[in-house]
A and B are shown apart, each in its own frame.
Chain A
Amino acid sequence: MTTRPRWEHIRGVLILLHILAVLLMALPAPEGAQRREAWNDPTVTAEFEAWSERLNHVGYETTPDDLKTDLFTLAQDFTEVRKTVLSPARPYARYLGTQQSWRMFVAPHRFPTRLHVELKQAEGEWETVSIYQDPDYSWKADLFEQDRFRSALFRYGWKSYSGARKLFNQWLAREAAVDFPDATHIRTRWYKVQTPTPEMVLAGEEFEGKFVLGQTLSLAPYRESP
């Protein structure tokens, strides 16, 4: 057995700690567990319905609501344990960027939302100026379709991101106050519709959606103090 210099042993320990940190960071992070209202989204509800049906099928009696409650408690506990386990590795990850919490396409979002922005002139009708990915209504489309903005818009379309969405709506109002001098109000809404099944697409059918998370703001305050 060869005798290695001491620094090679120290390096061995440090690399082992790095690997351990990366492994711990990769522990599943049920971040949604922190936002109970996100569990009421139709996509999440549909997942619970499908899983409870599957579990009943294999002999485990449960209902979607019971499963939701049990998993919410479990996820909360797990998040606490994960937080404790990760605490020694946090400074390393924070200062050297070694986070490894990957949750790519965990479950497809079957009830996506699409941003609609409308403006109102004095005593006029609402006029649509922007629909996400619609070339006929393209105000700010060059920004919205950049990957960084797509990521942000995806979050704003969730009910649980109300704080971030409110700030976004205020920003749209500040921008509209400059770009549309005659407009008096701005309204943002999200069109939420279930993605059609492949069979429906082939038959030319689609689900009926509805507007959610709407907010109307007067542009006057944004002109006075931009």
Chain B
Amino acid sequence: MSESVQEVKGGTRWMRVRSAWQAWVEILSTRETGTAMAWTRIGVGLVTLHTMTSIYTSGVIVPLWANKDEGGIINLSDKNWLVQLLGGPSLETSEQLLLMCTVACALLVIGLGSRIAALVALQTSIALFSLHPGSGGGHDRLITNMLWLLVLVRSDVTLSLWCYVRSRRWTSSELIYAWVRYALAFQVTVMYWATGVQKMGMEWMPWGGYDAIYFAVLHPAFARFDHSWIAEVMPLVRVATAVTWIWEVTFPIVLLWLWFRRTPDRDGRLRRWVRRWNLRLIYVVIGLGMHSTVWALMDVGPFSPITCTLYLSLFHPDEYARLYQRLRGRIPRGTAES
């Protein structure tokens, strides 16, 4: 191959990379109104607020977040920088962290200084969860993941006290960057996909009888009550087991659907086929049904509400505006699909 042909090929490759990079930067520069992120902020704030207050009101703070000589089960971990800054692990430190996190979450809900509030809520909850790692679950990681992304976005431009203070109105059409919402949509996709591909228990498989949900809801550690009655509705339970696993593993389809919707100028057989249905809505409805059932039957902490809060990021702010107007009767159903 002559040198000039190699140069042309190399140049074309470089142009492609450059073009893809420009497209990436372009996507990240997209702006939109802040409604979706405002609802996400309120949702995350409420769930975290409830998580923190329930630790205090249920009385588990002493056994789980105090040292042995203060009435706790273990001697708390001192690895976190904030814990060290507050004087080391102790019941007093735990209470300070809990109080700071509660105040920060309240500010997050009402929308006042929301980026600082998210940062305080994030660091205090990381510190609190680090003190006794055996007392939590994946939902704690999900909370901190979402709080970090809320640090990076002006989620209080609308539906907030800050908006009211600035403009004497509760809502605003001020634009914010959309990339944090995209990152949350990516997060929910990765979460479901990762948990789906790790479900290797035989009971999730057709040859295992699709009994996984049956055994999961009967586990005494997490069952709210005795659910032996579900043995009478096994066909339904087996369908739910199969749907859950397929739904989780194929969740990336939602991201694909959102991408296809964002690029309507492009065409192709797959695009036409995928866009024929509102796949996002189908996945969200299944998810809400699944999480409501988990919440009703099992006590797994804030797992269901915090996960459902992530769904808020799957919708464009214009869709919230249309829903609001539809609810107020301004737009007849079916006329606003653009």
Give chain A's interface residues, CB within 8 Å of chain B: 1-2, 4, 8-9, 11-12, 15-16, 18-19, 22-23, 26-28, 47, 50-51, 54, 95-110, 112, 114, 132-133, 142-143, 145-155, 157, 164, 167-168, 170-171, 174, 195, 197-199, 201-202
Chain B residues closer than 8 Å to A167, beta-carbon distance: 68, 73-74
Given A12-B25, A98-B145, CB of A1 within 8 Å of CB of B199: no
Whether a CB of chain A sits under 8 angstroms from the CB of B135 is yes
Q: Are B134 and A164 in contact (CB under 8 A)?
A: yes
Of all chain A residues, the one with the shortest Cβ separation from B73 is A171
Cα–Cα, bound, A215→B204 (Å): 35
Q: Are A149 and B64 in contact (CB under 8 A)?
A: yes
Q: Are A8 and B22 in contact (CB under 8 A)?
A: no
Q: Are A143 and B215 in contact (CB under 8 A)?
A: no
Give chain A nearest CB distance to B18 CB in angstroms: 8
Of all chain A residues, the one with the shortest Cβ separation from B226 is A133
Give chain A nearest CB distance to B115 CB in angstroms: 14
Cα–Cα, bound, A169→B156 (Å): 47
Q: Are B207 and A100 in contact (CB under 8 A)?
A: no
The residue from A108, A154, A157, A198 contacting B231, defined by CB atoms under 8 A apart: A198
| Given A97-B148, A151-B136; 8 other pairs, CB 8 A cutoff | A15-B183, A103-B195, A108-B216, A132-B220, A133-B223, A148-B60, A198-B211, A202-B231
The residue from B26, B59, B201, B220 contacting A133, defined by CB atoms under 8 A apart: B220
Q: Mark B15-48, 1 if CB is under 8 A from A, else 0.
A: 0000101101110110000000000000000000
For chains A and B in complex, what number of residue pairs have CB atoms within 8 angstroms?
A: 192
Q: Are B187 and A100 in contact (CB under 8 A)?
A: yes
Cα–Cα, bound, A8→B21 (Å): 11
23 A–B contacts, CB within 8 A, in A order: A4-B25, A12-B21, A12-B28, A15-B28, A26-B193, A27-B194, A47-B202, A97-B126, A97-B141, A98-B145, A98-B148, A99-B144, A147-B301, A147-B302, A149-B60, A151-B135, A151-B136, A153-B221, A171-B68, A171-B72, A195-B218, A195-B219, A198-B230
Q: Are B25 and A101 in contact (CB under 8 A)?
A: no
Q: Are A201 and B219 in contact (CB under 8 A)?
A: no
The residue from A27, A146, A171 contacting B60, defined by CB atoms under 8 A apart: A146
Whether a CB of chain A sits under 8 angstroms from the CB of B335 is no
Q: Are B28 and A108 in contact (CB under 8 A)?
A: no
Chain B residues closer than 8 Å to A155, beta-carbon distance: 134
Chain A residues closer than 8 Å to B204, beta-carbon distance: 107
5 tightest A-B contacts by CB?
A: A107-B201, A97-B144, A108-B215, A201-B231, A147-B301
Given A4-B26, A22-B190, CB of A151 within 8 Å of CB of B201: no
Chain B residues closer than 8 Å to A198, beta-carbon distance: 211, 214, 230-231, 234
**Chain B contact patch, size range:** 35 or more
Give chain A nearest CB distance to B153 CB in angstroms: 12
Chain B residues closer than 8 Å to A149, beta-carbon distance: 60, 63-64, 135
Given A154-B222, A155-B134, A168-B73, CB of A54 within 8 Å of CB of B202: yes
Cα–Cα, bound, A167→B76 (Å): 12
Cα–Cα, bound, A150→B134 (Å): 10
Give chain A nearest CB distance to B230 CB in angstroms: 8
Q: Are A22 and B29 in contact (CB under 8 A)?
A: no
Cα–Cα, bound, A108→B208 (Å): 12
Chain B residues closer than 8 Å to A142, beta-carbon distance: 58-59
Cα–Cα, bound, A147→B21 (Å): 45
Give chain A nearest CB distance to B21 CB in angstroms: 7
Chain B residues closer than 8 Å to A28, beta-carbon distance: 194, 197-198
Q: Are A22 and B25 in contact (CB under 8 A)?
A: no
Whether a CB of chain A sits under 8 angstroms from the CB of B239 is no
Give chain B nearest CB distance to A128 CB in angstroms: 16
Chain B residues closer than 8 Å to A152, beta-carbon distance: 64, 73, 134-135
Whether a CB of chain A sits under 8 angstroms from the CB of B232 is yes
Given A104-B195, A106-B201, A198-B214, CB of A50 within 8 Å of CB of B26: no
Chain A residues closer than 8 Å to B231, beta-carbon distance: 198-199, 201-202
Q: Are B19 and A1 in contact (CB under 8 A)?
A: yes
